[in-house]
Amino acid sequence: MVGSRTATALVGLLASLFVTAALWWYFDSLFVFLFLPFVPFLFRGLGGESEREVRECPQCGFQTEAAEFDYCPRDGTRLERRR
């Protein structure tokens, strides 16, 4: 049985190959292969996520954007929002 990450990767790969072949057929040029790797950079700012919250340890200066951290891994101090 295939895991969900593997299935998602396979679907993404197949969709990518389909889009690449369709663009190559439509434009009849290999320019598509030069342009296609840069497409993710075009949509970088369109994600649904808002600005991430940066939290910092007041004791040692450790900073993180990860929501998993409530306390500093270095000294155990509760992290505070950075202003």
Domain map (residue ranges) of the chain: 1-46, 49-83
Q: Which residues in the chain land under pLDDT 50? A: none
DSSP state at residue 78:
B
pLDDT value of residue 40: 67
pLDDT value of residue 78: 93
Nearest to 32 by CA among 17, 12, 15: 17
Length of the chain: 83
pLDDT value of residue 79: 92
pTM, to two decimals: 0.40
H or E element: which one contains 6? helix 4-27
pLDDT value of residue 36: 63
Nearest to 54 by CA among 64, 44, 46, 39: 64
Give the residue carrying structure tokens 């299935």.
7
